[in-house]
C-alpha cells in the first residue's frame, strides 16, 4: 500500500442534481453522521438502484473525526473505550436495514496499518501512536480520528454507481425551506447549501452557562478568581491558570482526567 489514508473529500457542486436524483446533507461529520453515510451507501443500490445520489457532510471540523476525535489534538487526550470495542462496521449483532459489511475494529485496523497491510495514517505526527495499540489499549483520541477518517474515505471510494460523497467545511447556522420545497442550509460564512433532505447529527452542542455555573462565574468575577465553564477540555484555554495554583474541578468523569 502506498497512498496514505486521510485524503479530503471533494466540495459539492453548486447545483442540486436533476430529479429524480437527490442530495442528502448530513450536518455533523462525527461517528453518527459517518455511520449514517455508511447505511445510505449500503442501502442505495437496494432502494434506488442507478439513481444519482449526492451525500454531503457539513462540519467545521474534518469529516470522519469531527470535533471530538480531530487529529490535531494532544495524544494525552485518550479514549475511555478499549480499542477492541470501537468500530464503525455493523455486524450481525446490529439491528439495521440493508446489507452489513464487516471490517476491522480500531485494534485490528491499527495492527493492519502498523503491518503495512493498510495505508499509513496521513498525519505523520500520529504514526507513533499506531503500533502500541492492542485490543485492551485506551488509544489516543486522535488515533480514533485517523481510524474514522480511514473508514469514511474507504467507504466513499467504494460508493455504488451514481452515488457520490462530498464534504462542505462550515458551521450550519440555519435551515430554511426554499420556494420549491427543497431545503437550504445557511452556514456561518454566509454561504447557502441546497439539499433535498437534511439530517442533523450534531453530538453534544455547546451551552451557555446557566444556573449554578452562572452563579459560580459571577462569584469568580466579583472575587478576582478564574472560572471556566463546562466545555470540551481540549478546547478550553488553561493558560490563565498560574503554575502551582490550587484548582477545584467539579465532576469526576472523563473531563476530569483530561484536565488533570
Ligand X SMILES: Cc1cc2nc3c(=O)[nH]c(=O)nc-3n(C[C@H](O)[C@H](O)[C@H](O)COP(=O)(O)OP(=O)(O)OC[C@H]3O[C@@H](n4cnc5c(N)ncnc54)[C@H](O)[C@@H]3O)c2cc1C
Contact positions vs ligand X (CB under 6 A): 27-33, 58-61, 66-68, 79-81, 171-172, 201-205, 232, 254
Q: How far is the CB of 234 from ligand X (least distance, A)?
A: 7
Q: How far is the CB of 56 from ligand X (least distance, A)?
A: 11
Residue in the structure block whose three cell numbers are 464534504: 167
Cβ–Cβ < 8 Å for 226, 241? yes
Q: How far is the CB of 241 from ligand X (least distance, A)?
A: 19
Query: Per residue in 94-122, is it b (16+ CB within 10 Å) or e — as a string?
Result: eeeebeeeebbbbbbbbbebeeeebbbbb
Report the residue number, 62 or 119, with the smaller CB distance to ligand X.
Answer: 62
Cα–Cα distance measured from residue 108 to residue 135, given in angstroms and rounded to the nearest whole number: 8
Cβ–Cβ < 8 Å for 37, 26? yes
Report the residue number, 120 or 193, with the smaller CB distance to ligand X.
Answer: 193
Cβ–Cβ < 8 Å for 58, 170? yes
Q: How far is the CB of 251 from ligand X (least distance, A)?
A: 13
Report the residue number, 41 or 120, with the smaller CB distance to ligand X.
Answer: 41
Report the residue number, 22 or 27, with the smaller CB distance to ligand X.
Answer: 27
Q: How far is the CB of 141 from ligand X (least distance, A)?
A: 6
Cα–Cα distance measured from residue 145 to residue 66, given in angstroms and rounded to the nearest whole number: 8
Collapsed DSSP state (helix, strand, coil) of residue 96: coil
Q: How far is the CB of 84 from ligand X (least distance, A)?
A: 13
Cα–Cα distance measured from residue 8 to residue 137, given in angstroms and rounded to the nearest whole number: 28
Cα–Cα distance measured from residue 153 to residue 62, given in angstroms and rounded to the nearest whole number: 12
Q: How far is the CB of 225 from ligand X (least distance, A)?
A: 25
Report the residue number, 61 or 130, with the smaller CB distance to ligand X.
Answer: 61
Q: Which H helix or E strand runs over 43?
A: helix 31-47
Report the residue number, 189 or 215, with the smaller CB distance to ligand X.
Answer: 189
Report the residue number, 39 or 51, with the smaller CB distance to ligand X.
Answer: 39
Cβ–Cβ < 8 Å for 219, 213? no
Say how many Å lie between the first and final Cα of the chain, rounded.
39
Q: How many CB atoms lie within 10 A of CB 129?
A: 20
Amino acid at each position: 500500500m502506498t497512498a496514505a489514508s486521510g485524503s479530503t473529500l471533494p466540495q459539492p457542486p453548486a447545483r442540486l442534481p436533476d430529479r429524480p436524483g437527490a442530495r442528502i446533507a448530513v450536518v455533523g461529520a462525527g461517528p453518527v453522521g459517518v455511520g449514517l453515510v455508511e447505511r445510505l451507501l449500503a442501502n442505495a443500490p437496494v432502494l434506488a438502484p442507478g439513481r444519482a445520489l449526492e451525500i454531503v457532510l457539513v462540519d467545521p471540523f474534518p469529516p470522519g473525526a469531527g470535533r471530538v476525535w480531530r487529529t490535531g489534538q494532544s495524544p494525552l487526550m485518550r479514549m475511555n473505550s478499549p480499542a477492541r470495542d470501537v468500530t464503525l462496521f455493523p455486524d450481525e449483532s446490529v439491528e439495521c436495514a440493508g446489507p452489513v459489511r464487516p471490517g476491522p475494529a480500531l485494534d485490528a485496523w491499527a495492527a493492519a496499518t502498523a503491518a503495512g497491510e493498510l495505508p499509513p495514517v496521513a498525519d505523520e505526527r500520529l504514526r507513533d501512536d499506531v503500533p502500541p495499540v492492542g485490543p485492551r489499549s485506551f488509544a489516543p483520541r486522535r488515533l480514533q480520528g485517523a481510524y474514522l477518517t480511514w473508514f469514511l474515505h474507504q467507504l466513499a471510494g467504494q460508493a455504488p454507481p451514481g452515488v457520490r460523497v462530498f464534504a462542505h467545511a462550515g458551521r450550519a447556522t440555519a435551515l430554511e425551506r426554499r420556494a420549491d420545497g427543497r431545503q437550504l442550509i445557511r452556514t456561518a460564512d454566509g454561504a447557502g447549501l441546497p439539499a433535498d433532505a437534511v439530517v442533523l447529527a450534531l453530538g453534544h452542542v455547546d451551552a451557555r452557562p446557566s444556573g449554578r455555573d452562572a452563579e459560580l462565574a459571577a462569584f469568580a468575577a466579583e472575587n478576582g478568581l478564574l472560572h471556566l465553564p463546562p466545555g470540551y477540555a481540549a478546547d478550553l484555554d488553561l493558560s490563565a491558570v498560574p503554575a502551582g495554583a490550587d484548582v477545584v474541578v467539579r465532576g469526576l468523569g472523563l473531563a476530569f482526567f483530561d484536565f488533570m
